[in-house]
Structure 1
Amino acid sequence: MVDKFVGTWKMISSENFDDYMKAIGVGFATRQVGNRTKPNLMVSVDDQGVVCIKSQSTFKTTEIRFKLNEPFEETTADDRKTRTVMTLDNGKLVQNQTWDGKETNIEREITDGKLITKCIMGDVVAVRTYVREG
């Protein structure tokens, strides 16, 4: 279940994120900020099974609430309006975003106690690594 993702996570590394942002169409100025930002992720689940993922940084805080396998409208940190579906696939929490005829996937999985996030757009893959706080 999603329970293993619950907690507060601090980013410790980010690889290839600029190329990923370029691939999804993020402008230069926003990419500059995105490259310098090291957000914390807070993941929680309520009694109804609604999952909340909050990304918090000095630059911007975003929050999505969803139930697995149920499409919802998302406004991303770079202000894209996407149709998003979250699924659990072999222990990975997979976020599929579609907008303007484009599609990207964000895969989150726990490996060796770390939260590994892969942002995938075509053949461009960014990897962001988080460790649990507390």
Structure 2
Amino acid sequence: MEKFIGVWKLVNAENFDEYMKAFGISDEWRNIGHVLKPKMIISQDDDTVVFDVESLVANQKISFKLGEEFQSKTMDGKDCKVTVSLDGDSLIEVSKWDDSESCNVYMIKDGQLIKSMSYEDIVAVRTFEKV
């Protein structure tokens, strides 16, 4: 978990527009999503992990314990149940709602935080560099 701790700034996004479309995000919000360069702050206090995502438009902060399900929101605002677990060198975040599921996989590669996001048959990749 230690290698994920820090402040990360978005430097690249691949296929993010298609990913947002799959969630039904409007053209207006997708356009905003392309220009935002969010900062992700990952911290840990004992067994509680905190993901704090900051941008000019909105901030989101979630706290959780690895392997324990918690309540959150999907990209389009739906209530969902989320579980984050550490699997080898990756953090795996699985969100479930209605009959749907999305999965985010976080890895450190060449000093960058790589976030692979999958929903339905769409995969987007967001790359962050440590600040």
TM-score band by shorter chain is over 0.9
Structure 2 equivalent of residue 61 of structure 1: 59
Q: TM-score, normalised by structure 2?
A: 0.94
Cα distance per residue 1:40-91 (max 9 Å; x no partner) = 00000002x1000011000110011000110000124532211000011121
Structure 1 equivalent of residue 101 of structure 2: 103
SS in 2 for 1:32: helix
Alignment of 1:22-61 (within 5 A): 22-47=21-46, 49-61=47-59
Task: Give the percent of matched residue pairs that are identical in Structure 1 and Structure 2.
Answer: 37
Residue among 108, 116, 119 paired with 2:117? 119
What residue ranges of structure 2 are gaps of 5+ in the alignment?
Answer: none
Partners of 1:15 and 1:42 in 2: how far apart?
21
* Number of residue equivalences: 131
Code of the aligned partner of 1:3: E
Shift of residue 9, structure 1, vs aligned partner: 0.3
Matched, 1:72 2:65: no
Code of the aligned partner of 1:122: E
Partners of 1:65 and 1:34 in 2: how far apart?
23
RMSD across aligned positions (CA): 1.2
